[in-house]
Amino acid sequence: MRWILDKTIGDDVLVNAIRHAIEFSRACLGQEADIQALRTRYASLTRREREVMALVVSGFLNKQVGAELGQSEITVRTHEAR
């Protein structure tokens, strides 16, 4: 596909704009890859591990998570480690 510019611009301006667009695209693709990796890891968790994670990221201590879910603190730590 060919693009026609309405205005004449300097080569350096055009090259810099293209360079910026490529860098932006690479950054976006990198972020998408990171997000997909997190989704994959989250999907691999068991239901209980997801429950533990939700409580831990909400600020609950392992002892509180255990009390909430009816599990020992050690079991919570095991789930949290995954």
Query: Which residues are CB-neighbours of 24 under 8 A, at least 6 positions away?
Result: none
Q: Do 66 and 80 belong together in one domain? A: yes
Q: Do 56 and 80 belong together in one domain? A: yes
Here the tokens at position 25 are 């695209």
Express each pLDDT in 12-44 by its tens digit. Answer: 888 888 898 899 998 888 899 999 999 999 999
Number of domains in the chain: 2
Q: Is residue 30 part of a domain?
A: yes
Give this prediction's pTM: 0.60
Q: Give me the residue label for tokens 């068991």.
A: 46
CA distance 38 to 34: 6
Express each pLDDT in 48-67 by its tens digit. Answer: 999 999 999 999 999 999 99
Residue 77: which domain range?
46-82
